[in-house]
């Protein structure tokens, strides 16, 4: 007969009460929705420029394939969007996040099958 002995004592983790959630507010949600609606024009502008210009799409794709994040950001900024934004990309596609104080509008586009 074989016995298994643990080399380290096992102790149960103490139960911790989760921190209380902040109070939800309809006013904050309304403000956030208005903020996001203002970003919709920039999203439309970016999508219109990308869908109209294969050259712009190719330049963004080429910069992303060479991992040149600064060039990708510069090319997106040249489309005329006014909001702050962040860009992430991988071999499957690109993700542009338009950013304001109360909200974030995320555009995710694919460039591979």
Characterise 67 by phi-psi region: left (phi > 0), alpha (psi -120 to 50), beta (else): left
Among 8-17, 25-34, 92-101, the range of highest mean pLDDT: 92-101
Task: Say if 18 falls within a structural domain.
Answer: no
Given a cut of 70, whether residue 40 has pLDDT beyond it is yes
CA 43 to mean position of chain CA atoms:
14
Residues in the chain: 113
> Quick one: pLDDT at residue 7?
63
- Residue pLDDT, tens place only, 43-87: 999 999 999 999 999 999 999 999 999 999 999 999 999 999 999
Q: Which positions ≥6 away from 89 have C-beta within 8 Å?
A: 64, 69, 72, 95
Categorize the per-residue pLDDT at 9 as very low, low, confident or very high, splitting at 50, 70 and 90: low
Structural domain including 49 reads 32-110
Please give the average per-residue pLDDT across 82-106, as a whole number.
93
- In this structure, is residue 83 part of a structural domain? yes
Q: How many domains does the chain have?
A: 1
Confirm whether 16 is domain-assigned.
no
Identify the pLDDT of residue 5: 60
Reduced to 3 DSSP states, what percent helix, strand and coil does the chain have, rounded to the nearest 5?
40, 20, 40
């Amino acid at each position: 007969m074989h016995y298994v002995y643990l080399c380290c004592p096992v102790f149960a983790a103490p139960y911790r009460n989760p921190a209380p959630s902040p109070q939800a507010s309809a006013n904050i949600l309304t403000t956030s929705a208005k903020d996001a609606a203002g970003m919709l024009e920039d999203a439309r502008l970016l999508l219109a420029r990308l869908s109209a210009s294969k050259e712009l799409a190719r330049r963004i794709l080429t910069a992303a394939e060479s991992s040149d994040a600064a060039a990708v950001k510069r090319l997106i900024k040249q489309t005329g969007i006014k909001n702050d934004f962040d860009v992430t990309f991988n071999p499957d596609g690109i993700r542009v996040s338009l950013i304001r104080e109360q909200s974030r509008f995320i555009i995710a586009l694919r460039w591979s099958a």
